């Protein structure tokens, strides 16, 4: 690598941002130029010589690419400027994930700040590698959609699901998924010893992403039924997926289907039949572990686990970045 990519990170002090820095600082093709944090501006960025700067102080003319770990709505305007400055943009926010401004309005309740930027490739390389290679802008998906879609993908690709049955997803997320800002929801005493369902009734905004991507493979007429839960663990995310197969498929074939599809994926591991994916295997790694349990001929239980801050955010962003620049896809990730 004669020349490193000069990189800036927005929103670098949040939990996803911290992991992003941790990965990028050891990336052999990256020179970390700035890291923004409006809350911690002036403090040292852990394990680097940089100090956080305010977003407004970041200069787009001294970097080649920016990672945006910003809240939705705040991210699109920065992405817009970066694109205009001919930078590559890896957006970890929700702003560019939905393909249309209408869909954005439906799920986020506000007008899209820059509808002219839509759509951009949805950044799960295992599903969309060809669309991400060399591109300028990628929307990195949320943690729930990543675990869910990786868990469903082989079945979606062969159109193996019943079109008249809902996909039931019972998801469990570590508390870091709720963000670094202290709230009642993240208070130790409120979460200790507790498990809390939230945003049931298709209320979680990630449902929109999941449906959008599922529908690119199969026109399932029934809704995604998705209930996330906060569990008293710092990081990790499990999507427990219950599906009904189409009549052309039987559950005993599903494990080998998955084995084939994921045979060459360096960051996805299929557990041997009879073994269950669990948090332990993936936390603080960049991998997804998937286990398949045929319940009877028609029903299959799929467990898909990731680290919500890694494969669910930061490391997937770097994986996309590597593809966008033609670097080895797992550079700095294995």
Measured between alpha carbons, how far is 56 from 88 in angstroms, rounded to an integer? 19
Stretch that binds a second copy, among 130-138, 164-172, 314-322, 325-333 (CB under 8 A): 164-172
* Residue 130 CB, nearest approach to a second copy (Å): 31
Q: Is residue 44 within the footprint of a second copy (CB under 8 A)?
A: no
Q: Does residue 97 contact residue 123 with C-beta atoms inside 8 Å?
A: no
Please list the active-site residues.
Answer: 143
**Which CB, 142 or 174, lies closer to a second copy?**
174
* Residue 162 CB, nearest approach to a second copy (Å): 11
Measured between alpha carbons, how far is 141 from 149 in angstroms, rounded to an integer? 10
Which residue in this structure is represented by tokens 């945006």?
Answer: 68
Which residue in this structure is represented by tokens 């699109």?
Answer: 76
Q: Is residue 290 within the footprint of a second copy (CB under 8 A)?
A: no
Strand partners, 227: 170
- Non-local (6+) Cβ contacts of 33 within 8 A are 6, 7, 8, 62, 63
Which residue in this structure is represented by tokens 């955010």?
Answer: 313
**Which CB, 93 or 303, lies closer to a second copy?**
303
CB atoms within 10 A of CB 196: 12
Nearest to 161 by CA among 151, 152, 148: 152
Q: Which one of residues 10, 15, 107, 249 is an interface residue with a second copy (CB under 8 A)?
A: 15
**Which CB, 130 or 198, lies closer to a second copy?**
198
* Residue 294 CB, nearest approach to a second copy (Å): 7
Binding site for a second copy (CB under 8 A): 15, 165-166, 168, 170, 172, 175-176, 180, 182-184, 186-198, 200-202, 223, 225, 227, 229, 231-236, 238, 240, 242, 244, 276-280, 283-284, 291, 293-296, 299, 301, 303
């Amino acid at each position: 690598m004669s020349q490193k990519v000069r990189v800036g990170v927005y929103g670098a002090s949040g939990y996803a941002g911290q992991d992003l820095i941790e990965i990028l600082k050891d990336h052999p093709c990256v020179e970390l130029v700035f890291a923004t944090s409006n809350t911690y501006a002036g403090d040292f960025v852990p394990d680097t010589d940089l100090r956080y700067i305010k977003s407004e102080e970041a200069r787009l003319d001294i970097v080649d690419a920016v990672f945006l770990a910003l809240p939705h709505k705040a991210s699109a305007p920065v992405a817009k400027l970066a694109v205009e400055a001919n930078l590559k943009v890896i957006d970890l926010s929700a702003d560019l994930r939905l393909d249309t401004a209408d869909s954005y309005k439906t799920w986020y309740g506000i007008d899209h700040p820059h509808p002219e930027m839509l759509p951009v490739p949805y950044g799960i390389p295992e599903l969309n590698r060809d669309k991400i290679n060399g591109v300028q802008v990628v929307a990195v998906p949320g943690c729930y959609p990543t675990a869910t879609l990786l868990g469903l993908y082989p079945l979606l690709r062969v159109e193996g699901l019943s079109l008249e049955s809902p996909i039931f997803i019972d998801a469990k997320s570590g508390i870091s998924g709720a963000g670094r800002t202290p709230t009642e929801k993240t208070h130790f005493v409120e979460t200790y010893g507790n498990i809390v369902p939230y945003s049931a009734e298709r209320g979680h905004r990630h449902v929109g992403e999941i449906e959008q991507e599922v529908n690119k493979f199969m026109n399932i007429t029934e809704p995604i039924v998705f209930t996330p839960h906060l569990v008293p663990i710092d990081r990790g995310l499990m999507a427990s997926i219950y599906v009904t197969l189409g009549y052309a498929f039987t559950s005993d074939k599903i494990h080998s289907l998955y084995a084939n599809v994921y045979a060459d994926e360096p960051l996805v591991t299929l557990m041997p039949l009879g073994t269950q994916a669990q948090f332990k295997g993936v936390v603080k790694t960049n991998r997804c572990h998937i286990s398949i349990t045929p319940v009877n001929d028609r029903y299959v239980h799929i467990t898909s686990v990731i680290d919500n801050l890694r494969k669910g955010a930061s490391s997937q962003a770097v994986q996309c970045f590597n593809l966008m620049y033609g670097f080895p896809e797992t550079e700095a990730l294995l």
